[in-house]
Chains A and B, each alone.
Chain A
Amino acid sequence: EAGVAQSPRYKIIEKRQSVAFWCNPISGHATLYWYQQILGQGPKLLIQFQNNGVVDDSQLPKDRFSAERLKGVDSTLKIQPAKLEDSAVYLCASSLQIGAEKLFFGSGTQLSVL
Chain B
Amino acid sequence: KNEVEQSPQNLTAQEGEFITINCSYSVGISALHWLQQHPGGGIVSLFMLSSGKKKHGRLIATINIQEKHSSLHITASHPRDSAVYICAVFRNSGNTPLVFGKGTRLSVIA
Do A and B belong to a common assembly? yes
Instruction: Give how many B residues have a beta carbon under 8 Å from the other chain's beta carbons.
Output: 24
Q: Does A61 count as interface, using CB distance less than 8 angstroms?
A: no
Contact with B along A75-114 (1 / 0, CB 8 A): 0000000000000010101000011011111111010000
Say yes or no: B102 contacts A99, CB within 8 Å. no
Number of contacts between A and B (CB, 8 Å)? Answer: 56
For the complex, give the distance between the alpha carbons of A102 and B30 in Å: 14
> Majority SS of interface residues in chain B?
strand
- Whether A42 contacts B86 in the complex (CB less than 8 A), given A103-B33, A105-B42, comes out as yes
Q: Does B31 count as interface, using CB distance less than 8 angstroms?
A: yes
Within 8 A of A (CB), among B19-68: 30-31, 33, 35, 40-45, 48
Say yes or no: A110 contacts B41, CB within 8 Å. yes
Closest 9 CB pairs of A and B: A42-B100, A105-B43, A108-B41, A45-B97, A103-B45, A42-B102, A107-B42, A102-B45, A101-B48
